[in-house]
Homo-oligomer: A and B are copies of this chain.
Amino acid sequence: MTADVPPAADANPHPITPLRTAIGHSTKDTVEVCGHNLTDELMGEVDFAAVFFLLVSGRLPGKGEARLFNAVLVALADHGLTPSALAARLTYTGAPEAIQGAVAAGLLGAGSVFLGVFEDAGRMLRAESPAADSTDSDLDTIATRVVEDHRSRKARLPGLGHPIHTGGDPRTARLLRIAEEEGLLGPHTRLMLRVQQAASRGRDLPLNAGGASGALLCDLGIDTAALRGIALVARSAGLVGHLVEEAHAPLGRWLWDTAERETTYTHPH
């Protein structure tokens, strides 16, 4: 088909070019996704996470990359009865006929506190452009500077600390071990580890799963614009799990009854 080029819209500073999408294409007999034939090359041949990797990166992952990427998604899928999961369950209580609203509400409640970590950690690390052949000493120098810069701006370092796993986040240790086994513990993650060391002198600031994931996803070459999205897809699986449970064991309804019963109505001041 010939691509129609519309005239430039005056107020738009972005160049208008023929539109392109690389995501997908359907003809009468075939479906392609990012250059791969969906039925012959993808379905039954590679797992869903590998296709997600393809959708955000434009290429299929190698075997070790797929193992690590799957591990990150698994680590992030669920965090128990978070405000996000409860919001999803309560939306489902009010609108059981449309689970998409409940999942949407859960994703909206994930919020920048949870999602922001991945992107903030990724931006912080990528801003330093740590080279693959950096020595430990090189990275220590960068890490010290990064920590001091954040301290002087009174900014929080992303990816550090955890309210429950105060001795260290078990998911972090596992992700790092898998990365090492697959030879994928790259410069961004090595830098993140040194930032954690520099920041936690005398304090309890373990590298949490969000920070570890953000760093490892950078080493996998995942686009910064995709980092939050990785967490969203992982979290959507956990939310659906909660909603299936809600359909059979309605915790949302109990919360509603409790809130109504426990709340006293007062005139505003």
Contacts and interface: CB of A to CB of B under 8 A. Distances in A.
Interface residues of A, number: 141
A71 B226 CA distance: 23
A111 B98 contact: yes
Contacts of A94: 82-84, 87, 109-111, 113-114
B19 A263 contact: yes
Contacts of A232: 99-100, 103, 236, 240
A77 B24 CA distance: 10
Contacts of A268: 22, 34-35, 58-59
A269 interface: yes
Contacts of A242: 21, 23
Given A52-B241, A100-B101, 4 more contacts: A23-B78, A28-B166, A92-B109, A229-B244
Interface of A: 1, 3-4, 6, 9, 11-12, 14, 16, 18-35, 38-40, 42-44, 46-49, 51-52, 55-56, 58-59, 67-68, 70-71, 73-75, 77-88, 90-105, 107-115, 163-167, 170-171, 173-175, 177-178, 181, 223, 225-226, 228-230, 232-234, 236-238, 240-245, 247-269
Closest 7 CB pairs between A and B? A95-B111, A55-B241, A229-B240, A58-B268, A101-B108, A105-B105, A94-B109
